[in-house]
Amino acid sequence: LAVLFTLCVSCLLFLSAWRKMSGSGKLPPGPVAFPIIGNALQLNMKNLPQSMREVKVAKYGPIFTIYLGSERVVVLYGHEVVKEALIDQGDEFSERGRMPLFEKLPDKKGISIDNGVPWKRLRRFTLTTLRNFGMGKKSTEERILEEAHFLVERLKNTHEKVHVEIDRVIGRSRSPCMADRSQMPYTDAVVHEIQRFISLAPLGIPRAVTRDTHFRQYIIPKGTTIFPVLHSVLYDSKEFPKPEQFNPGHFLDENGAFKKSDFFVPFSLGKRSCLGESLARMKLFLLLTTILQNFTLKPLIDPKDIDITPMTLTSNDPVSYQLIVIPQ
């Protein structure tokens, strides 16, 4: 009798989970998910960006559905669909998706996780504050700058070219300023390439749809979590030839002038993009040029032996390393 009761309860839980995962609407296709665990067995949870690419390449195309546990997630892979969702249909894709880390907070409020009217009010206030006081996203900048030191030391030729440009434009008698950036295309390209190459938030910060949303030929139910895979945009081989290689030339034209790219989206796109983006870019340029103006950085080991593979889960974090700092 106990075995029969347990079996009945298990069947009910199975059917309940299956019904919840099936949801409503005409969802994008995706790999078969199992109740409770979803697609956990089919995904490499230590390298989700690579798993997303494998699912996309398999047969599902740039829009597909996966389940992380019982959580339904629609994945957007590639510049075209990411831009279409976050820009062209920005209102529908403007809510914050579920973030397990923030779920533990006792008071789930703030510009990163709020939704609806409270978020809109807080966003307006934050934009005004940023303009008035020049505050940026410190943690993001610090992680990018840490990776910048790592990459510059790995790539000696890049280091030398930046030094030459600093000596030519700024010299040693004054500090760098933002007016210098337009005269330093190579350094500006290095700063951009570092952000592209490290792909700090490869899956983007989760979004959610504000209502039942028609997207291309699909209907995505209200509240569905959305993963806009920024890594797929930053590593688009048509825009950035050999994207797996660090190359500032991705942001230089044939004359050596800096060129912008619509595929440069390390801070995401649309209404939920990082509000401190412009200030973060300014700070990265000024910090990197100031450090290289005053110091020479050298690794403790042969640059060829430095492993630049980041620690990856939902974000790419630089590994720990040591270097020698020599005053100029």
Q: Is the pLDDT of residue 251 over 70?
A: yes
Name the CA radius of gyration of the chain, rounded.
Answer: 23
Of the two residues 104 and 269, the one the predictor is more confident about is 269
What would the mean pLDDT of 126-148 be, rounded to a whole number? 50
Q: Which amino acid is at 289?
A: T
CB atoms within 10 A of CB 246: 19
Structure tokens given for 244: 């797996």
What would the mean pLDDT of 17-29 be, rounded to a whole number? 62
Residue 166: the pLDDT is 95
- Domains, the chain, in order of start with CATH, read 135-201+237-327 (1.10.630.10)
Structure tokens given for 322: 């040591």
Q: Is the pLDDT of residue 248 over 90?
A: yes
Nearest residue to 29 via CA among 74, 93, 82, 84? 74
What would the mean pLDDT of 169-180 be, rounded to a whole number? 94
Q: Which amino acid is at 197?
A: F
What would the mean pLDDT of 229-239 be, rounded to a whole number? 95
Q: Three-class SS of residue 310?
A: coil
Residue 278: the pLDDT is 79
Residue 9: the pLDDT is 46
* CB-CB contact of 186 with 158 (8 Å): no
Please enumerate in sequence order all residues whose Cβ is within 8 A of that of 28, keeping only pairs 6 or more positions apart, or say none.
60, 63, 64, 65, 74, 218, 220
What burial letters (b/e) apply to 7-46, b meaning 16+ CB within 10 Å?
Answer: eeeeeeeeeebeeebeeeeebbebbebebeebbeebbeee
What would the mean pLDDT of 307-327 be, rounded to a whole number? 75
What phi, psi does 254 have (nearest 5°)?
A: -65, -20
What would the mean pLDDT of 196-211 be, rounded to a whole number? 89
Residue 101: the pLDDT is 43
- Poorest-pLDDT segment among 41-50, 88-97, 304-313: 304-313
Task: Grade residue 12 by pLDDT with cuts at 50, 70 and 90.
Answer: very low
Task: Grade residue 155 by pLDDT with cuts at 50, 70 and 90.
Answer: low
Residue 242: the pLDDT is 93
DSSP state of 131: H
What burial letters (b/e) apply to 89-120, b meaning 16+ CB within 10 Å?
Answer: bbebbbbbbebeeeeeeeeeeebebbeeeebe
Q: Which amino acid is at 37?
A: I
Q: How far apart are alpha carbons 33 and 41 in whole angstroms?
A: 9
Instruction: For the chain, give the mean pLDDT.
Output: 79
